[in-house]
Amino acid sequence: VQDTKKLQRLTATLTYQPTELANGAQELLDEVAASKITGEEERYSHIDLLDVDFNVEGAQQAFAQLQPALTRIDPVLTKTIAARFDALDKAVDAHRNGEDISGFVRYTTLSADDKRALAAAVKAVQEPLSRVAQKVASQS
Amino acid sequence: VSDTSRRRFLGSALGTLGLAAAGGTGYAVAASTERTDAGRPAAQVPFYGAHQAGIATPAQDRLAFAAFTVTTQDVTELQQMLGLWAAAAAQMTKGLPVGAVETAPLVPPIDTGEAYGLPASSLTITVGFGPSLFDDRFGLKGKRPAALAELPAFPGDTLAAERSGGDIGVQACADDPQVAFHAIRNFARLARGTAVLKWTQLGFGRTSSTSTAQATPRNLMGFKDGTRNVKAEDASDMDRWVWADGSDQTWMKGGSFLVARRIRMLVESWDTASLADQEQTFGRVKDTGAPMGKHGEFDRPNFEAMPANAHVRLAAPTANGGAKLLRRGYSYTDGIDPDTGLLDAGLFFLAYQRDPREQFVPIQQRLGAHDALNEYIRHTGSAVFAVPPGLSGPGDWWGKTLFA
């Protein structure tokens, strides 16, 4: 508990550069696209969807930090990314299952079409998100 | 072309879609930093014209084909993607990248870059719409041409769903495989969030001649097939058998209908068939390509000299009420069949026509039921697309009149 509090105190004052946030969001999604969609990370427990959910949430939080500034720089791009994050959320939420301890169905039950839809939803965010770092860097 | 006119060009391409700005929703296609090389090899096929290029164009050596599934429910996003594709295609068919290859350090390059520095290589990009696009999603139900009917099941079909269908089909042909692949890859990238790839097919060598200036190539069975193909120089055949008249849907006037069939050849079985068997199966002499009993490839066939189920005899226009197709297929190989270790290779058959119901369908019903070749082939994929007419110029895009 002590450590957690210490960690909270430290992170509260941490500030990230806008480009770090943008790249961090992209890296979290890259992880999803590159290894989690293939089901190779949780080879034994098959709770990959929980990992996916964490990564997506993390990426979304990083993006949320940038959103106010980015909206001023490029409102259309910001809206596109936000809408695609919403679509990705929906694609992940479709596999929620309250009865499983992970909160999601086991990854092994997903069909090839399910996995392709998830991968496409991730890519749909990544493509416009990849243009954010340059935008925020040029303004800071 | 100067920077400013290029910008104006992009502006007009997107302006017609009612978009405020390109920056947020798509790429800055045709951004300002591209080169304007003079002195490239002349092999450029004009992108704009009454008909889409890639049909009457003398068949290039290489193919990259892709079928897309549209994932957005928003018709504006779909139109925007088709507009971006058109702007990108206008660039790539000139041998230019879709946008800057060298960009700012923190942003990915606009063009993927693998065709950078390569000539246009006769690249053509031909786009068509599948029957599934005309459902409830985009309000196109009443715009579906009658000729764009789903193909019926044919005798002997062994189609795989994952190699069949698609809302949109894109045929990229070029004399360099990297140039053709580059076009498909960048289309898929521009489609991100709007459409996804459903299946793709590479073709490594043309199997058809679509011009009298071209020799007839051999297929993977070692035969010349398609000697009597519709040739681009024959205007009356093109009008009679290839170009759609748009009688029921005016947006298709000057377009064509494309049937794609992935036809696997059991090449190992074929290779153990005797020469006499092979020649009787096709109805041609293997060496010269002459019809059986004749000497030259282009001699008039004597069908009576062939077995009743010979391929050439059954596929001939005289056996099919005069019906002809413009065939534009490619040989393919996709490695080996994991179950048997046999080559997965054959013909990716592409045929343009005015109305598949009166051309491909009756011909294939006859071939599927009787063709001696059936012992050695399997149809493993199938798709049909309505290919709209050509784009008139910058600002026009595929399906603009369809959505109007």
CA of A9 vs chain B CAs: smallest distance (Å): 31
Q: Is pLDDT above 90 for B262?
A: yes
In one-letter notation, the amino acid at residue A122 is V
**From B21, which residue of chain A is nearest by alpha-carbon distance?**
A76
Say if CB B327 and CB B365 are below 8 A apart: no
pLDDT tens string A32-56: 888 777 767 777 677 789 989 999 9
Instruction: Please name every residue paired with B387 in a beta bridge, in sequence order, or none if there are none.
Output: B256
Instruction: Please name every residue paired with A18 in a beta bridge, in sequence order, or none if there are none.
Output: none
pLDDT tens string B63-84: 999 999 999 999 999 999 999 9
- Tell me, rounded to whole angstroms, the distance of Cα A138 from its chain centroid: 24
- Kind of pairing between the strands at B195-203 and B326-327: unpaired
Q: Is pLDDT above 60 for B62?
A: yes
Q: Note whether A137 contacts B106, CB cutoff 8 Å.
A: yes
Instruction: Establish if B71 touches chain A: CB-CB under 8 angstroms.
Output: yes
Q: Is pLDDT above 50 for A103?
A: yes
| ipTM, interface predicted TM-score of the complex | 0.84
CA of A127 vs chain B CAs: smallest distance (Å): 7
Q: Note whether A76 contacts B108, CB cutoff 8 Å.
A: no
Instruction: Establish if B21 touches chain A: CB-CB under 8 angstroms.
Output: yes
Which segment of B30-39, B224-233, B390-399 scores lowest on mean pLDDT? B30-39
Using a CB-CB distance cutoff of 8 angstroms, which residues of chain A are in contact with residue B104?
Answer: 134, 138
Using a CB-CB distance cutoff of 8 angstroms, which residues of chain A are in contact with residue B192?
Answer: 123-124, 126-127
Cα separation values, B214 from A56, A104, B107, B137, B325, Å: 54, 59, 45, 43, 17
Of B20, B104, B193, the CB nearest to A84: B193
**From A137, which residue of chain B is nearest by alpha-carbon distance?**
B106
- Give me B65's structure tokens: 């084909």
pLDDT: which is higher, B382 or A102: B382
pLDDT tens string B269-311: 999 999 999 999 999 999 999 999 999 999 999 999 999 999 9
Taking only residues 194 to 233 of chain B, the set having a beta carbon closer than 8 angstroms to any beta carbon of chain A reads 196
pLDDT score of B135: 97
Which segment of A88-97, A103-112, B45-54, B92-101 scores lowest on mean pLDDT? A103-112
pLDDT score of A34: 82
Average pLDDT for chain B = 90
**From B23, which residue of chain A is nearest by alpha-carbon distance?**
A77
Q: Is pLDDT above 50 for B39?
A: no
Average pLDDT for chain A = 87
- Give me B77's structure tokens: 């996003």
Q: Is pLDDT above 60 for B1?
A: no
For range B342-356, the mean pLDDT: 98
CB atoms within 10 A of CB B305: 13
Q: Is pLDDT above 70 for A12?
A: no
Backbone angles phi, psi at B67, to 5 degrees: -110, 135
Interface-testing mutation among B192, B194, B199, B200, with chain A (most A C-beta atoms within 10 A)? B192
pLDDT score of B29: 45
In total, chain A counts a number of residues equal to 140
Using a CB-CB distance cutoff of 8 angstroms, which residues of chain A are in contact with residue B189?
Answer: 127
pLDDT tens string B376-404: 999 999 999 999 999 999 999 999 999 98
Given pLDDT bands bounded at 50, 70 and 90, which one contains residue B40? very low
Q: With a threshold of 0.90, does the pTM exceed it?
A: no
pLDDT score of B11: 41
Query: How many angstroms separate the CA atoms of B369 and B367, rounded?
Result: 5
pLDDT score of B108: 93
